[in-house]
Amino acid sequence: MSASISEVARPFVQGLAAGELRYQSCADCGAAQTLAHYACQHCGSVALAWRTAGGVGTVYAVTEVKRAPSDEYRPLAPYTLVIVELDEGARLMGHAAPGVAIGQRVRAGFFEHLGRQLIRFTPG
Ligand SMILES: [Zn+2]
């Protein structure tokens, strides 16, 4: 029995559509992760539950994207991508306001691009 990646990630995608950041929480070791996996990346447990994050975290990495990797993102370029460590412990990639810096506290918001909900972090 196997589920496709899109089935595993469905709660995350549905959360975005509802304006919520959802992450997986391991019932065995408490680790949190945002990319949908079958098992905990920390201890290998499959006892994962979906939870909704508060959307506040700290910038862990910043990348300025001058040339979009696909036609879909070209209208947005140049843009800023960040990896944010949410207060719940999971790391999540999203767009960000220009000028955000590593270590800065940010809050997640959402914007729609070509019919998809994308994450955008802003200071505060
Ligand atoms: Zn675990």
- Ligand 1 center to 114 CA (angstroms): 36
Domain that holds residue 99: 5-123
Closest CA relative to residue 9, chosen from 47, 48, 45:
48
Q: What is the pLDDT of residue 1?
A: 47
Q: What is the pLDDT of residue 95?
A: 94
The answer to whether the CB of 15 falls within 8 A of the CB of 23 is no
pLDDT along the chain (124 residues), means of 10: 68 87 93 87 94 94 89 90 93 92 96 90 93
- Ligand 1 center to 60 CA (angstroms): 22
The answer to whether the CB of 65 falls within 8 A of the CB of 108 is no
Q: What is the pLDDT of residue 107?
A: 96
Q: What is the pLDDT of residue 3?
A: 57
Backbone phi, then psi, for 8, in 5-degree steps?
-65, -40
Backbone phi, then psi, for 15, in 5-degree steps?
-65, -45
- Ligand 1 center to 84 CA (angstroms): 20
Instruction: Say what the pTM is.
Output: 0.82
- Ligand 1 center to 48 CA (angstroms): 8
Domain count, the chain: 1
- Ligand 1 center to 44 CA (angstroms): 6
